[in-house]
Amino acid sequence: MKKIILFTFLFLFAFGASAQLADNSSETPSFRSYKQTLKVFPNPATEYFQLNDKNDSVDQINIYNIVGKKMKTFEVEDAKKYYLNQFPKGMYLVQLVGHNNKVISTQRLNVKKP
């Protein structure tokens, strides 16, 4: 009797887990492809960086140093170059903020000076 209950429990658990995975898998690729359309380039950057945003979903770019201090905020414009003259060489975090001040993505940016 214990074996039957255990088998039934495991069967229902496995069936529920597989159904949940199948349900989540339909959302995951579209979310990944959405985030992949957001790209900060060139990386490493020397003088400036640009944003590739095919969906026009980013309104603001925040630059943080590696310890989390906000260094600069840029308002997003199409095909704009964001200059890094005031930044010393090092690693920075680029936070891409969308509508309603929601953080869409955070990417690393390496700044190198010639």
Q: pLDDT tens across 56-85, in order? A: 899 999 999 999 999 999 999 988 999 999
For residue range 5-19, list pLDDT tens digits in order.
Answer: 655 545 455 544 444
- Please state whether the predicted TM-score (pTM) of the whole model is above 0.85: no
Which residues have a Cβ under 8 Å from the Cβ of 86 and sit 6 or more positions away?
72
